[in-house]
A = this chain, B = another copy of it.
Amino acid sequence: MRKNPIVQRETLGAAVLQVRSGRATSRTTLAKALGISPSTTGLYVDHLIAEKYLNESGLNQGPMGRPRRLLSTQAGAGWFAGVEFNAHRIQAVGVDFSGGLKQTVELLLPDEVMADQVTKAILSCVAKLAETMQGPLLSVGLGVPGLVDVQAGVGLYYAFIPDWKQVPLVEIIGSKLKVPVILQNNLRAIALAERWFGIGHSLNDYVILGPRSGFGIAIVQDGRVIEGAHHAAGEVGRWPWPLMGGAGEVKELHHALSAPATWRRLSGVDGRAKLPEDLRAGLAAFSDSKGPVWDAVCTDYARVIGLLHMIIDTGVFILHGPLTMLGERFCQSITDVACALMPALREGGLKVVPSTLGDDAGALGAASQAMEAWAPA
């Protein structure tokens, strides 16, 4: 038997992440992924297997040589909660230790909801998930609307919950649940969801387009989500739009490209009172992808995407939110218009795609955060 040194928590957590993501499948590949020596990696893996976090799941014969002893995460070792919310509803997901989505809970919030109601509702969602998830709760991720201070664990400001100012969420939730809690802005959480559950697993640079009740973006560069000096990176909704419009009628990008605004433009119907589900249904049924209104909407999107692309030189734009209902043809139109408007984009390989994740992307992203933050005790 090998001696069992006191290994480093952080490295253990990183090792589990690599195995869970499938980037490392054996001791040797794990060693490469972690950048530590194979011998040390062996010790860590032994420890993790002894603690029932990992197990060996058969052999994998390469073209030659000793077969790898495949590593996998033990699904029942515990679970992670991911919770995302806005002023109207809370969505929570339970993810097992292998990163598999196991359960979803949704909860509608009353109008004019207050901060402490929200935090209570979050706790009750997690409690409901706990009824069916197996093993102990290991960590909680929160996708928080508005400005968020990730370091401090504080929700700074959100316009649509009246008293949402300086809410010490990590402390509130963490002290009740006794597990690590990690925060992220909800759009940036979606970016992480793409990394774990969507097409981002093979990408290191991409941008999330989030036309929802407003319009914001999240930028992933070199595998990291950009925060900004004041936690406000990607808050492009308040761009003046049209950018150089005639005097007097300057609005903001929000008013042109949010999900309801886009629907209003496309359908000609005032959708202010529309519920989110109706909006989705309407968009899904929308088929008129030829007219001048359609072109105008695509042109606006194309302009924004083009500007972004030339600043941060990222490959892929992933469309999220209700507008994904417009499907592939919407993204294709945007790409075409953008390349027509800005020939330089063609060389850069502009790509706009609809997300394959559904409405719970934010909660999934929050769960991803939880997984990334966790390390064995």
**Chain A residues within 8 Å of B, Cβ to Cβ:** 204-205, 217, 219, 221, 226-236, 238-240, 242-245, 303, 306-308, 310-315, 341-344, 348-349
Given the known inter-chain contacts A205-B229, A226-B221, A245-B244, please indicate yes or no for A236 contacting B311, CB distance below 8 A: yes
Name the B residues within 8 Å of A235 (CB-CB). Answer: 310, 313, 344
Complex contacts, A221 vs chain B, CB 8 Å: 226
Contact (Cβ within 8 A) A238 B313: no
The quantity of this chain's copies bound in the complex is: 2
* Contact indicator A315/B238 (Cβ below 8 Å): no
> Please, which residues of chain B bring their CB within 8 A of the CB of A229?
204-205, 313-315
A233, B313: Cβ atoms under 8 Å? yes
B348–A310 CB distance below 8 A: no
CB atoms of A239 and B313 under 8 A apart:
no
Q: Please report the C-alpha to C-alpha distance between residue A231 and residue B313 in the assembled complex, in whole angstroms.
A: 7
Please give me the residue from chain B that is nearest to A231 by CB atom.
B313
Least Cβ–Cβ distance between A146 and chain B, in angstroms = 13
Q: For residue A245, which residues in chain B have a CB less than 8 angstroms away from its CB?
A: 244
**Majority-rule SS of A interface residues:** loop
Select from chain B the residue with minimum beta-carbon distance to A316. B229
22 A-B contact pairs sorted by A residue (CB < 8 Å) = A204-B229, A205-B229, A226-B312, A227-B313, A228-B313, A229-B313, A232-B313, A233-B312, A233-B313, A234-B311, A236-B310, A236-B311, A238-B310, A238-B342, A238-B343, A238-B344, A239-B307, A240-B342, A242-B243, A242-B244, A243-B303, A312-B312
CB closest chain-B residue, reference A250:
B341
CB neighbours (8 Å) of A205 from chain B are 228-229
Distance between Cα atoms of A235 and B309 in the complex (Å): 9
- Quote the shortest CB–CB distance from A158 to chain B (angstroms): 15
Q: A310–B239 contact, CB under 8 A?
A: yes
A275 → chain B closest CB, angstroms: 29
The 5 A-B residue pairs with the shortest CB-CB distance, nearest first, are A228-B313, A233-B313, A238-B344, A205-B229, A232-B313
Residues of B contacting A310 in the complex (Cβ-Cβ under 8 angstroms):
232, 235-236, 238-239
CB of B312 within 8 A of CB of A230, answer: no
